[in-house]
Amino acid sequence: MYQFPKGFLWGAAASATQTEGAAQVAGKAKNIWDYWFEIEPDRFHNRIGPALTSDFYKQFKEDIQRMKAVHFNSFRTSISWSRLLPDGKNVNKEAVHFYNEVFDQLLLEDIKPIVNLFHFDMPLIMQEKGGWESLEVVEAFNHYAKTAFELFGDKVKKWTTFNEPIVPVEMGYLNHYHYPCVVDMKRAVTVAYNSMLASAKVIKTYRQLNQTGEIGIILNLTPSYPRSDSQGDIEAANMADLFFNRSFLDPSVLGEYPTELVEVLRKHDLLPEVNQGDLELIKENTVDYLGVNYYQPRRVKEKEAPSNTDSIMPESFFDPYIWPERRMNPYRGWEIYEKGLYDIAINIKDNYGNIPWYVAENGMGVENEERFKDENGMIQDDYRIEFYEEHLKWLHKGIEAGSNCFGYHVWTFMDNWSWLNAYKNRYGLYRVDLETQQRYLKKSGQWFGDIAKQNGFK
């Protein structure tokens, strides 16, 4: 029996933009996704934009019943900044009503809300001021967070500042993949740094308000594995780890940036503007706990043709490595490596003060999942059950080794909209029929309900 610690949190993760719908009604202003879809709909899979999501805005009561039916005791989602403060300053009463109802309903069902403040959804008016490049936006984010704490802090006892702050950096400022589609390492570094400043500022605000809960951050950690024990390969993995993990993990948990990262950035004249008091702010306002999203590892090798030394993108320091033994998710194309979760658990225990942490997302996306429907219309997603089970076994091993993990959240509760991929990859415990907005339990949903109820599995 894989029994998990008493009080272990079992649930799913989601985000406002990906589930709520009601994108431009009920007082909500546009965020960058609403805007981008308006101007470039072809970028989005099947031209499905953020207005057509899973209708949680209307169906949340029934959806929370569905969570209860699969024995969630926790649900992590986010508040939409552009819904709560459409002009950046004044509160939208309809939003307050909606979120109050959601949190009340969750509490009524004994489902703890874990609420995140920023999940890639920069309000358009804030992007027009420069997004995370602008310190004015950092201040505005702090105002939004303070408002949310004051409004909902009596109900929400677990907050997080950001979900995967590296994603806007990587996708929006390095890879031309998310709006504003910039490719500029210097600007990317500023965005990353200002996100960390914003996170620390908000943590400080939370504590100044004497709130009685805890505040953390959610990071997508990708353990970096070298091709071999050669010095070059190990150095390559170290660089990947520095850029993609430690650049957020270290300031968030330890309160300081890794010296090696600072040195590399300095060498390439990429250091961001650091104002007086910034580093103290980061040092003094580390997280109470950590959320970890884990999907796949990163495998790297020494660069075959060493790049010219002026090259400044993270990828100039390593090459991707295709591990011959790797197993792929055949339905989505990401590597499946369950032991990565154990390695994360041990890393947190050994190098990050054994801070309390939880799995904030772990999941398996599947294209054309309808093909796995049985004659009763149920998706027979045994592949997903196996995926979860194997990850949970490694997580359990990490906990047995002393890692302080307090929960496991699948991505995701019901199939939801995912940015440019829209509904291409389905992840839910419930299938959503987009035309009727009906929800149908999948086999993995049943399975999840059993393990959540028993707090473990055989």
Supply the residues annotated as catalytic.
164, 361
**In the range 358-397, which residues lie near ligand BG6 by CB under 6 A?**
361, 365
Q: How far is the CB of 259 from ligand BG6 (least distance, A)?
A: 29
**In the range 230-289, which residues lie near ligand BG6 by CB under 6 A?**
none
- For residues 147 and 195, which CB has a smaller minimum distance to ligand BG6 in the complex? 195
Q: What does the per-residue mask of binding to ligand BG6 show for 148-177, with x meaning CB under 6 A?
A: ---------------xx-------------
Residue whose Cβ sits closest to ligand BG6: 418
Q: How far is the CB of 33 from ligand BG6 (least distance, A)?
A: 11
Residue with tokens 């104002």: 275
Applying CB under 6 A, the span of 273-281, 321-329, 381-389, 418-426 interacting with ligand BG6 comes to 418-426
Applying CB under 6 A, the span of 68-76, 90-98, 323-331, 417-425 interacting with ligand BG6 comes to 417-425
Q: Of the candidates 421, 437, 446, 455, which one interacts with ligand BG6 according to CB under 6 A? A: 421
Q: Of the candidates 15, 82, 116, 247, which one interacts with ligand BG6 according to CB under 6 A? A: 15
**Residue 425 interacts with ligand BG6 (CB under 6 A): yes or no:** yes
- For residues 394 and 411, which CB has a smaller minimum distance to ligand BG6 in the complex? 411
**In the range 284-303, which residues lie near ligand BG6 by CB under 6 A?**
293
- For residues 17 and 224, which CB has a smaller minimum distance to ligand BG6 in the complex? 17
Which residues of the chain form contacts with ligand BG6 (CB under 6 A)?
15, 18, 163-164, 220, 293, 361, 365, 411, 418, 421, 425
